[in-house]
A and B are shown apart, each in its own frame.
Chain A
Amino acid sequence: MTSLAPTPAPVTTTTTIPVQRDHRRPGGRPSGRLPHEPRPVVRFRRSRPDLALCAVLLTLILTVQGWNITRFPSLSDDEGTYLAQAWAVQQGHGLAHYTYWYDHPPLGWIQIAFLTWIPSLFSPDNMTVATMRFAMLAVSAASAVFLYVLARRLFLPRWASALAMVLFGLSPLSVVLQREIFLDNIAVMWMLLAFCLAASPNRHLWHHFAAGIAGAASVLSKETMLLVLPALLVTMWRHSHSDTRKYAVTGAVTACVLIGLAYPLYALLKNELLPGPGHVSLVDGITYQMSRPGSGSVFDTASGSHGVFQSWLYYDRVLPLGGLAGALLLLATLRWSITARALAGPALVVAILAVVASRPSGYLPAMYVIQALPFLALVLAGGAASIAHGVLRKGVDRERFRIPMPARWTVAVLLAVSAVAYVAPRWYDGNHDALTVDANRPYRQAAAWMKTQVADPANTRALVDDALWLDLVHAGYQPGDGAIWFYKADLDPAVTKTMPHGYRDLDYVVASPTVRRDAPDLPNVRAALEHSTPVATFGTGEDRIEIRKITGGVR
């Protein structure tokens, strides 16, 4: 009786339901309070000029970053650590081939494992630090594109967005650091994605929610990104609409917290959340990181922090110092400048990171600057856009004291030319090294020697630094007890247990600069160096690598 089936024609007229009323059409009711500032919405994927510009710059950046990537800069111990742990993940050994002790959240090298998974299937022997640096190009590429999109979403003009991308991708400091397999690079990629989502032109609830997830992924990739989260919140706050803000921002915070809690949850499930006898714990790991001996104040020329700071400036002064100045400029002009307000989030990132870096005591790691690089580039480009706007547009409508346009353009061109004249030679020198110098020859030679000159790798025990470790594993040494991360010989009870006679239970020690640097604090390593003679030496001076055979061993 009530079924519509027997009813004739009229009911079947429309089967597609038209969308609801569009509030934007004339006569429609506006959506509450209208934003006070212009919102020139950029649809990146549909904008051909943006896509083309981005593609050209990306090619340039990838060429510069990729060329000679295996030979410069010299392999770092941390790269070896993360790649080896990624290898352990791939091999199904858990999160590390030695006991995972909650030194860092593991998401970073899980992603490295994922990135290098397919290449390592084709050629397992190429799962070494130098080769797998190519995987970092994917991360660099993603970060560079995200940065461009973010710049456009923060209403920077196209040229300034391109400038930000170039500063970020081609600064010699970036080129050196982004080539290396550092967790920070991966964390930066996620954080840039989070910022892009927070500044979504749709102001979509689930974009903001996803921004929270990406922020959490960033922190789980490298915990220092926690510092950047407040600035992410500011960006999201500014880019959300007052009508939907409370849902968007709460959703994002919830997402970030819940995803972030996955880490302690993991520890809890493994019964390793709290310290206890006979097992590692998350709390122990955090305690260790928080109590790392300080490296002094950046402003104290004798301190380690100052040295780290100088090492950044050695590669490039423009990006760190210029970016810092740009951030200060933007924060100071927050009241008057639209650009400054649009870039409040990135400027805040730079400010927070600068304040934390300049605290008098505390540990300043060499990679610390990586997380600041995109934001330095962004605020520097924003500062440039602000200045360009001031020179070309300010007071154009004024009747009196009007400055003619040709004069304005002359000033602008002069400024641009002098900036390029200042930067270009310095960057040329810096990047010239990156493209030509071979800093890793001793490493390659040492790896080749250990592979070809040692008779029975499977039954040979050698202390090596992390960067060489995978080479030895591929050469047939036993991962863990045969090829040994040198400091584990002193710090990991599971390894020391296999060395009842100390250094006498070893055959070789591969003395790289890292090993020599850390040996004074590691009794077993020091003893191994003292009771061994070099059988092969590669390179000269400080950077040489010696392969030393243990004398008086029991093996």
Chain B
Amino acid sequence: MFISLFVAAVSLVLFWMAGFTLWWQMHAWRTPETLAATRFDAPTEASGLSFSLLLPARHEQLVLEHTIERLLESSHQDFEIIVIVGHDDPETAEVAERAARRDPGRVRVVVDTHEKKNKPRALNTALPQCRGDVVGVFDAEDQVHPELLAHVDHAFVSTGADVVQGGVQLINFHSSWYALRNCLEYFFWFRSRLHLHAAKGFIPLGGNTVFVRTDVLRAADGWDPDCLAEDCDLGVRLSSVGKKVVVAYDADMVTREETPGTLVSLLKQRTRWNQGFLQVYRKKDWKQLPTWRQRLLARYTLATPFLQAFTGVVIPLNVAVALFLDVPVGIAVITFLPLITAMVTFVFEIVGLHDFGTQYGLRVRLIHYLKLIVGGPFYQVLLAGAAIRAVWREHQGRNEWELTSHTGAHLPGAGNSIREDVLQ
């Protein structure tokens, strides 16, 4: 009897959690009106904001030049690009300086002299130098659409937002089974879930294609130099004090990226994010949120990686209990509820993959759908592994940016990067 009640209670909790996650994941497609509201409005007239675009680059001399050139193609009238390079990284600095010489009016170089280097420190170094009304962040390998700035400008002016988050999308779904799932994660996150967060007034921002009014950013003291998920942290701090965040996603205007090159680097990236989420949770800035519903959303969102790991383990266990232990039929049926939710999620993922293909004009084949289905449980294992690893590292007090210590310029080729999630 006790086992039955316990199993039923666990099942109901899991069901409730999985149900909410699914509900939020599908936010953008609730109604045609919701979906339409997730897009950028077309800019009607030239408006007046100026932009400072921060471009931290570290050992990324191969891609940096192209990224700067593409940014300079932007149709917007008033922006500057600030490339941030490390004092110990002459190759990248040279590329940056070259670009600055070609277009001194719009490109500047800032040198980060911190002993321990990471992205928030680089960004903070450049913040005092920004002349624009709005600070935007991109990564060195980003492919930015020329019309993006004009749209962001319009979004700021027409909505009175303090922060505008544009879409970021991994594209290389065909590279590997985990790349497929990783792309889809981004799709659901930026296409859908993030809009819910913006509407609810609690939002962990993304790492790039994020734009903040310069005065707001300075008042917030910029980025947290010790946080592993400085982007998430910034969003949490700003939205917790009521800053207005607007999210917009247009398939033709997203910033395109690629998934980490290896499974190990994906695991490390995910570990860093999870650990970052954990740090943000422990910083408790989210406690300033005015309503308990928002605080609950914050708690839940920041704890998601760990809940995900937990559900991944418990759902199969639960089904096993239902099938092999002698519990009443009614209880056994209840134990299947989380599994049902998981299957609904699965189906929506398949539809999402189809939609992703349609939106980006990519050909999704049967094999990809099969990979998506078969890869699901394994990806769950990966996520659970990353979650456990994050808790372990946080417990050990190890909160340096992984790879920075042992992957440097001396390694040619693939590992040649400060950041593990970089395009090679």
Say if A and B assemble together: yes
Residues on B with C-beta less than 8 A from A205 are 26, 29-31
Segment among B35-43, B48-56, B403-411 that sits at the interface with chain A: B35-43
Q: Flag the segment in A123-131, A261-269, A368-376, A405-413 that touches B.
A: A261-269
CA distance A4 to B329 in the complex (A): 54
Are A21 and B158 neighbours in the complex by a CB distance under 8 Å? Answer: yes
Partner-binding segment picked from A24-32, A327-335, A393-401? A24-32
Residue in A closest to B250 when the chains form the complex, CB atoms = A29
B244 at the interface (CB under 8 A from A): yes
For A16, give its contact among B201, B247, B333 (CB under 8 Å): B201
Interface residues of A in 11-31 (CB under 8 A from B): 11-24, 27-31
Do B347 and A20 touch across chains, with their CB atoms under 8 A apart?
Answer: no
A24: B residues at CB distance < 8 A: 33
Q: Complex Cα distance A285/B227, Å? A: 63
With A22-B37, A247-B29, A266-B333 as known contacts, state yes or no: A17 contacts B219, CB within 8 Å. no
Contact segment of A64-72, A225-233, A250-258, A507-515: A250-258
With a CB–CB cut-off of 8 A, which chain A residues contact B41?
A: 21, 23, 27-29
Q: Looking at the assembled complex, report how far the CB atom of A155 sits from the nearest CB atom of chain B, in whole angstroms.
A: 18
Whether B32 pairs with A250 at a CB distance below 8 angstroms is no
Q: Mark A178-214, 1 if CB is under 8 A from B, else 0.
A: 0000000000000000000000001111100000000
Question: Which of the listed residues B200, B215, B241, B343 has the most CB atoms from chain A within 10 Å of its own CB?
Answer: B241
A27, B43: Cα distance in complex, Å: 9
At the interface, yes or no: B193 with Cβ under 8 Å from chain A? no
- Which residues does chain A contribute within 8 Å of B31, judged by CB atoms? 202-205, 241, 244
Q: B219, A7: Cβ atoms under 8 Å?
A: yes
- How far is A407 from B37 in the complex, measured between Cα atoms in Å? 49
Set A21, A206, A250, A266: member contacting B351, Cβ < 8 A: A250
| B30, B195, B220, B222, most chain A CB atoms within 10 A | B30
Q: At the interface, yes or no: A37 with Cβ under 8 Å from chain B?
A: no
Taking a contact as CB atoms closer than 8 A, the residue among A28, A32, A269 that contacts B322 in the complex is: A269
Contact among A7, A243, A248, A251 for B36, CB-based, below 8 A? A243
User: Which of B33, B158, B200 contacts A17, CB < 8 Å?
Assistant: B200
Task: Please report the C-alpha to C-alpha distance between residue A470 and residue B23 in the assembled complex, in whole angstroms.
Answer: 46
| CB–CB A247/B244 < 8 A | no
Judge whether B219 and A11 touch: CB under 8 Å.
yes
Residues of B within 8 Å of A262, CB to CB, are: 333, 336
Cβ of B285 under 8 Å from chain A = yes
- Determine the main DSSP class of B at the interface with A: helix
The reply on B311 being an interface residue by CB < 8 A is no
- The closest CB in chain A to the CB of B36 belongs to A31
Cα–Cα distance between A260 and B265 once the two chains are bound (Å): 42
Chain A residue numbers with a CB within 8 Å of B29 are: 205, 244, 247-248
Q: A20-B195, A265-B336 are in contact. Are A258 and B242 (CB under 8 A)?
A: no
Whether B233 pairs with A2 at a CB distance below 8 angstroms is: yes
The answer to whether B199 has its CB under 8 Å from any CB of chain A is yes
Collect the chain B residues with CB atoms within 8 Å of residue A14's CB.
242-244
Number of interface residues, chain A, beta carbon within 8 A: 48
Interface pair A17/B233, CB less than 8 Å apart: no
- Judge whether B241 and A11 touch: CB under 8 Å: yes
Given known A250-B348, A258-B344, A269-B332, contact A2–B159 (CB-CB < 8 A):
no
A residues less than 8 Å from B225 (CB atoms): 1-2
- Is A3 among interface residues, defined by CB-CB distance under 8 A? yes
User: Closest CB-CB distance, B374 to chain A, in whole Å?
Assistant: 19
Given A4-B285, A247-B348, A250-B351, residue A23 in contact with residue B33 (CB < 8 A): yes
Asked whether B347 lies within 8 Å of A251 as measured between CB atoms, the reply is: yes
Residues of B within 8 A of A517 (CB): none
Known: A17-B244, A19-B199. A244 touches B32 (CB 8 A): yes
A258 partner residues in chain B, CB cutoff 8 A = 340, 343-344
Which of B36, B41, B198, B290 has the largest number of chain A CB atoms within 10 A? B36
Given contacts A27-B41, A27-B44, contact A20 B32 (CB under 8 A): no
Task: For B197, give the chain A residue with the smallest CB separation.
Answer: A17
The answer to whether B344 and A254 have CB atoms under 8 Å apart is yes
Within 8 A of A (CB), among B204-220: 215-216, 219-220
Size category of the B interface is 35 or more
Of B23, B199, B351, the contact of A246 (CB 8 Å cutoff): B351
Write the nearest CB–CB distance from B151 to chain A, whole angstroms: 11
Query: CB-CB < 8 A to B220: which residues of A?
Result: 2, 4, 7, 11
Interface residues as binary, B9-46 with A (CB distance below 8 Å gives 1, 0 otherwise): 00000000000000100100111110111110110100
Q: Is the CB of A2 within 8 A of B237?
A: yes
B285 CB, nearest partner CB in chain A, Å: 7
Let me know if A16 and B242 touch, CB within 8 A: yes
Q: Find the B residue at minimum CB distance from A33.
A: B32
Q: How far is the CB of B406 from chain A (nearest CB, A)?
A: 28
- Is A270 an interface position by the 8 A CB rule? yes
Whether B355 is near chain A, meaning CB under 8 Å from some CB there, is yes
Closest Cβ–Cβ distance, residue A27 to chain B (whole Å): 6
A10 contacts partner chain B, Cβ-Cβ < 8 Å? yes
Alpha-carbon distance A270/B246, docked complex (angstroms): 53
**Is A12 touching B242 in the complex (CB atoms < 8 A)?**
yes
Chain B residues within an 8 Å CB radius of A1: 221, 224-225
B118 within 8 A of A: no
Q: Which residue on chain B has the smallest CB distance to residue A31?
A: B36
| Complex partner residue of A241 from B32, B158, B224, B237, CB under 8 angstroms | B32
What residues of chain A lie closer than 8 Å to B244, measured between beta carbons? 14, 17-18
Q: Which of B320-334 contact A (CB under 8 A)?
A: 322-323, 329, 332-333
User: With an 8 A cutoff between CB atoms, is B190 at the interface?
Assistant: no
Q: Whole-angstrom distance between the alpha carbons of A10 and B223 in the complex?
A: 18
CA distance A266 to B335 in the complex (A): 12
Q: Inside 8 A of B200's CB, which chain A residues have their CB?
A: 17
Question: Is there contact, CB below 8 Å, between A4 and B241?
Answer: yes
Assess whether A2 is in contact with B224, with CB atoms less than 8 Å apart. Answer: yes
B240 nearest in chain A by CB position: A4
Residues of B contacting A254 in the complex (Cβ-Cβ under 8 angstroms): 343-344, 347
Q: How far is the CB of A400 from chain B (nearest CB, A)?
A: 42
Please tell me which one of the listed residues B36, B239, B332, B355 contacts residue A32 in the complex, with CB atoms under 8 A apart. B36
Question: Is the CB of B256 closer than 8 A to any CB of chain A?
Answer: no
A interface footprint on B106-125 (CB within 8 Å = 1, 0 otherwise):
00000000000000000000
Q: How far is the CA of A454 from the CA of B348 in the complex (A)?
A: 64
- Chain A: minimal CB distance from B203 (Å): 9
Are B344 and A255 touching (Cβ within 8 A)?
A: yes
Q: How far is the CA of A18 from the CA of B223 in the complex (A)?
A: 25
Query: Closest residue to B233 on the A side, CB-wise?
Result: A2
Question: Could you tell me if B329 and A247 are in contact, using CB atoms closer than 8 angstroms?
Answer: no
Of the candidates A7, A16, A31, the one whose C-beta lies within 8 Å of that of B33 is A31
Contacts of B221 in A (CB 8 A): 1-4, 7
Does A17 lie within 8 Å of B36, measured CB to CB?
A: no
Interface, chain A (partner B; CB < 8 A): 1-5, 7, 10-24, 27-32, 202-206, 241, 243-244, 246-248, 250-251, 254-255, 258, 262, 265-266, 269-270
The list of the 3 closest CB pairs from A to B, nearest first, reads: A31-B36, A17-B201, A241-B32
In the complex, besides A2-B223, A262-B333, 11 extra interface pairs with C-beta distance below 8 angstroms are: A2-B222, A4-B237, A11-B219, A11-B220, A20-B247, A23-B36, A243-B35, A246-B354, A247-B348, A255-B344, A269-B329
Residue contacts A-B, CB under 8 angstroms, 14 given? A2-B220, A4-B220, A4-B241, A10-B219, A11-B241, A11-B243, A17-B242, A17-B244, A20-B159, A20-B247, A30-B36, A203-B31, A244-B31, A247-B29
Residue numbers of B with Cβ under 8 A of A are: 23, 26, 29-33, 35-39, 41-42, 44, 158-159, 195, 198-201, 215-216, 219-225, 227, 233, 237-247, 283, 285, 288, 290, 322-323, 329, 332-333, 336, 340, 343-344, 347-348, 350-351, 354-355
